[in-house]
Amino acid sequence: MAILFSNSIDVTSIILYDEIHCVVFWKSRKKKMKKILLTLLLMSSLYSQVNRILNIAPTSSTSSIGNVTLPLMNPARNTLDKDYFSFSRVNWMTSIVNDMNYNYIRVERQQYGTDVLFFNYGEQNQADEYGIILGQFTPLSSVWGFNWGGKAPGTAFGGLVKDYYWGVESKIVHHDLFSEKATGVLFGLGGYFPKVYKDLDVDVMIRNFGMAPKFGTFNSELPVTWNIGFSYPYKEWMFYGQNNFHKGYYTFGSGASYNYKDMLWGRLGYYGDLDHDLFYPTFGVDFKYDKYLVGMSYIYGDKTLPLSNTIRLTINLEF
């Protein structure tokens, strides 16, 4: 199988885009390009990168504070969070393609949680070795997760923290890339330490270790990540920070939210990837009505950032 591109695309230059960090070769003379992502589907480099969808900050609330996820999605906090159902919808990399998207569903009930992410790479052309179009296909990936959290026995940090919490998660990731299919099983372990110093809360987690999806004889690479997050309340404000240690590189996020009468939240953040020279601000707003919370986030960037103008929409319903 090969992928056919129009003559308006010169496959020469490279960009690394955030969160997935999937390598894409492109140089466009058009404003819109459709058939670019799967240039590397026939190469092991993309097979090793496709699991980067596991590092997406999937909801508007996490995206709007600089992709800080732990204070809002750490399974160790399950027993402290309200029970809810959440649905998120995102059109992905709209400055480059017009049909890539993902849907994310999450449910939390007492100490248990479950979630699923469906990632659609958009419609692609299948061509033979001579460039003759044979048909079209739509590659898909899905991630099915289950998590549990509870209060841990004893104290932490030599008695400095008297109550702390821990949680575990498991995921099944499945890739259907037309010519190849692969499934893997992953795990994560997290901890939540409230009031480590005054009102400073600390979250820690290791994610995405386990059995990697295997494409034929090729084992894809898992994006094992060590995360440490911070959150600190001050009056109507909440400040966030998170450091992410990946294999071979480091990323960070920071943000803040302002709570107006438990009805309206304004959020802003900043995300950075030092190794890939990638930095951008994020913004968002949440509005609550009765048991519904509707949130929207926005990524700002110029035309050189593939994720610029990305809008996430999330709807939460409290049980």
Half-sphere exposure of 160 (CA within 13 A, CB side): 12
Instruction: Point out the least confidently predicted range of 7-11, 110-114, 208-212, 301-305.
Output: 7-11
Helix (H) or strand (E) holding 60: helix 60-64
Give 135's strand partners. Answer: 126
C-alpha distances in Å from residue 159, one per residue of 58, 72, 116, 155, 204: 35, 25, 37, 5, 18
Summarised one tens digit per residue, pLDDT across range 243-273 is 999 988 999 999 999 999 999 999 999 999 9
Q: What is the CA radius of gyration of the chain?
A: 20
Percent of the chain with pLDDT over 70: 81
Q: CB–CB of 110/123 below 8 Å?
A: no
Burial class (CB in 10 A: 0-12, 13-18, 19+), 165: buried
Burial 123-147 (b: 16+ CB within 10 A, else e): ebbbbeeeeeeeeebebbbbbebeb
Average pLDDT, the chain: 83
Phi, psi for 248 (deg, rounded to 5)? 90, -5
Summarised one tens digit per residue, pLDDT across range 23-66 is 343 334 343 344 444 444 444 455 667 888 999 999 999 999 99
Of the candidates 139, 113, 114, 180, the one whose C-alpha atom is nearest the C-alpha of residue 53 is 139
For residues 170-178, give the mean pLDDT.
92
Longest Cα–Cα distance in the chain: 69
For residues 175-184, give the mean pLDDT.
87
Summarised one tens digit per residue, pLDDT across range 207-231 is 999 999 998 888 888 999 999 999 9
Give, as one character, the DSSP assignment of residue 137.
Answer: E
The Cα–Cα gap between 141 and 304 comes to 26
Contacts of 56 (CB under 8 A, 6+ apart): 19, 20, 102, 117
Using the predicted structure, report yes or no on whether residue 193 has a pLDDT greater than 60.
yes
Chosen CATH of 14-318 out of 2.40.160, 2.40.30, 2.40.170, 1.10.357: 2.40.160
